[in-house]
Structure 1
Amino acid sequence: MKYINELHEGNKMTGVYLCKHKQPAVTKNGKSYENVILQDKTGTIDAKIWEPNSVGIADFDSLDYIDVVGDVTSFAGALQVSIKRARKVKEGEYNPADYLPASKFNIETMYAELLQFIRTVKNPYFSQLLSYYFEMDTELIKAFKNSSAAKNVHHGFIGGLLEHTLGVTRLCDYYAKAYPILNRDLLITSAIFHDIGKTKELSAFPQNDYTDDGQLLGHIMIGAEMIHDAAQKIPGFPEKLEHELKHCILAHHGELEYGSPKKPALAEALALNLADNTDAKMETMKEIFENAGDNNGWLGYNRIFESNLRRSSEE
């Protein structure tokens, strides 16, 4: 078995993979086929079963582990697998640790660094709020360490939420030093809290899919509610500070069409939006290049960046 990040166009895929998603579809000509997403710890790859009723294709469902034989091709600049044979495997034929993508960085080391940032916050109300969730809430801490930051766009792996939050917090720490107009305590607190709602928006791996709360409310609203709930338990928490912090959370996607209920009205909200966008986009670009393997040429049009992409020259 080759890991997904080792596959290249023209390879034969053989081995056990997690079926992250499976859905029937129909071509423009009315022919039935199945869309499949295969996953291992290095990432995911799109796959198609063009002959779903053939002898070599046994029954399996989403979140089953399947033994696959297929051809690796390329479509629209991305690798894709044409599955020829597939069967559901039994427990004991695979090691689950091989199929859950995880951060390349040590989770406990990252969390220790996040706690260091928390301890630099001087405002007593923000400090208590951060401690309430990130030092005392053991259930939240466990979820925060193991959650992804997205279903599939960026940081979509175990530890991804922590890695992304730390990246955003580092950028905000730099902004606070570079631009004295910024209230550092508000900015650092909002950076650490900005995606906390994703602990409830997305289910745990291997599903890593939207929960009912995620579908109905979304992580931005969930995060603002979590801040309000905790602030109510801290005696004397100023309403003005709560509203400013919640505004940063509500505006951190920057634009209404990107899911923000509000556009940034505070300098700290603007800085948070820029940091969030920077970390998300740079990680997305990194993952695109990693998935491209040794391909140093043009990778084709990418809908996220609305551009044809390639790596820069080394010389």
Structure 2
Amino acid sequence: MDVFERAFHQTAWGPFGIPIILRAPDARKTEVMLVRVGSSLLTGPVEFITIAQLKQTANETPREAFFYAQLQDCSEKKTKSGSPYLELTLADATSNFSLKVWSNHSQFAELSELPSGSCVRAEGRWSQNQYGIDGADWQMRGLNDSETEDFLRGDPATARKQQQDWDHIVNSCAALTDPRLHALANKFLEDFGERFRRAAAARRNHHARRGGLVEHVSQMMRTASAICDAYPDLNEDLLLSGVLFHDCGKLWENNYPETGFAQNLNLHGEMMGHIPLGIELVNKLWRDLSGSSRASAWATLSPPSDLVRIHLLHLIASHHGTREFGSPTLPSTPEAFALHYIDNLDAKYEMLTMAYEANNELAPGILARQFPLPANPISPLPSFEPSR
């Protein structure tokens, strides 16, 4: 650390009794960063679990486990008798939940001062009742820089899946044969790849998690390729490009920060919506490419470049299928209809998956409704397995 850095750093004791660095790069901002962690809090080995797994498997019998989470919010409230308690909103790449911290908890004071955005390890005995997740004998500690970096990538299973999905998107774009769509897709990945990998596909209904848009687009690409095998007259390059770009406006509407698991609202997303933003982004990328050296060879290509652009924009504009669901125009081409149904299928399939994993069973094989599905989900029929 040089003289300038030392002049703007000081060490103090912060939440969890661990040292924090107060870094003031200028007079307007102070950043709090946890820098040291403790050891295991329970005796003996404790299993790692994601928040989604905790919500899916916890019941009235306490389960010893630890999970990593980011503090999204800490609200101080009062019971009916006037006793204070904290309500923490904790999130990871898979889900989130609220945890109540009663005033007699040993870390009540420290947690009340913990800044939003802090990353922690929570370890204890976890159960679930009608009011949600509850903990006993639990403690938290801050994550160091290395742990935080790993945590923000998501749990290992999610990180592996999203990396595989990302690789599939990259390979699918590299295989596009139309040079205009190939250049457009790869410029998009080069310019906005990191933002793409953080975005969600929705606020809550499906793939509503960090990296969820990558999962959604990748699966839609697999489905699109399969449908093109069944309907060979479909323009596969156009359909795959439509899949890639149909929700590209959600890079602003449903984006996550570089270091967080809470979607940030912004004026572009709120005032424009992802369909107009997607149309504007594709037009901007197309204009940029039109001024490049490679575009001179496109003048003689068939179909004409501007017709290709208009067809791609139509896919973005019409992919919701109806005006009441937000599309400014209705599907008018085979690829537009295909994209709409592929998008709807993947979204609905994800909603059913969420219901099967988490919803209460109202009667044998009948689950509580998963919004916005129109009816109670029914357990699927297992595939027939012939006897050996």
TM-score higher than 0.5: yes
Describe how 1:48-67 pairs up with structure 2 within 5 A: 49=100, 54-56=103-105, 57-58=108-109, 59=112, 60-65=114-119, 67=122
2:250 alignment counterpart: 198
In 2, the alpha carbon distance for the partners of 1:34 and 1:260 equals 42
Structure 1 residue 279: deviation in Å? 1.3
Contact 1:251 1:262 in 2 (8 A): yes
**SS at structure 2 position matched to 1:155:** coil
- Match among 376, 379, 383 for residue 308 of structure 1: 376
In 2, the alpha carbon distance for the partners of 1:16 and 1:107 equals 20
> 1:161-207: per-residue Cα shift (whole Å, max 9, x none)?
22221211121222223234533332121112222223333123523
Contact 2:360 2:368 in 1 (8 A): no
Structure 1 residue 268: deviation in Å? 1.4
In 1, the alpha carbon distance for the partners of 2:68 and 2:160 equals 23
1:183 alignment counterpart: 235
2:225 alignment counterpart: 173
2:339 alignment counterpart: 272
Task: Point out where structure 1 has 5 or more consecutive residues left out of the alignment.
Answer: none
1:218 alignment counterpart: 273
- Match among 45, 60, 64 for residue 10 of structure 1: 60
- Match among 44, 47, 50 for residue 95 of structure 2: 44
Matched, 1:133 2:188: yes
> 1:183-232: per-residue Cα shift (whole Å, max 9, x none)?
33321211122222233331235234134132232332222111100111
2:328 alignment counterpart: 261
One-letter amino acid matched to 1:230? L
Deviates more, 1:302-311 or 1:102-111: 102-111
Structure 1 residue 117: deviation in Å? 2.6
CA 1:83–1:109: 2 relative to 1, 3 Å: closer
Matched, 1:207 2:274: no
Structure 1 residue 84: deviation in Å? 7.7
2:350 alignment counterpart: 283
Matched, 1:162 2:214: yes
One-letter amino acid matched to 1:203? Y
CA 1:277–1:34: 2 relative to 1, 3 Å: farther
In 1, the alpha carbon distance for the partners of 2:276 and 2:375 equals 31
**SS at structure 2 position matched to 1:122:** coil
Contact 1:19 1:39 in 2 (8 A): yes
Matched, 1:142 2:203: no
Larger CA Rg, structure 1 vs 2: 2
2:36 alignment counterpart: none
Give me the CA root mean square deviation: 3.9
In 2, the alpha carbon distance for the partners of 1:175 and 1:188 equals 11
CA 1:130–1:91: 2 relative to 1, 3 Å: closer
Structure with higher RCO (Cα < 8 A, 6+ apart): 1
In 1, the alpha carbon distance for the partners of 2:211 and 2:141 equals 28
**SS at structure 2 position matched to 1:263:** coil
Deviates more, 1:139-148 or 1:274-283: 139-148
CA 1:278–1:226: 2 relative to 1, 3 Å: same
**SS at structure 1 position matched to 2:312:** helix
**SS at structure 2 position matched to 1:47:** strand
CA 1:103–1:259: 2 relative to 1, 3 Å: farther
In 2, the alpha carbon distance for the partners of 1:284 and 1:251 equals 22
In 1, the alpha carbon distance for the partners of 2:271 and 2:76 equals 26
Q: Percent identity?
A: 22
One-letter amino acid matched to 1:308? N
Deviates more, 1:272-281 or 1:237-246: 237-246
2:27 alignment counterpart: none
- Match among 43, 49, 72 for residue 21 of structure 1: 72
Structure 1 residue 107: deviation in Å? 4.6
**SS at structure 2 position matched to 1:312:** coil
State TM-score, norm by structure 2: 0.64
1:232 alignment counterpart: 287
**SS at structure 1 position matched to 2:133:** strand
CA 1:62–1:218: 2 relative to 1, 3 Å: farther
In 2, the alpha carbon distance for the partners of 1:267 and 1:223 equals 20
One-letter amino acid matched to 2:202? A
State TM-score, norm by structure 1: 0.76
Task: Point out where structure 2 has 5 or more consecutive residues left out of the alignment.
Answer: 1-45
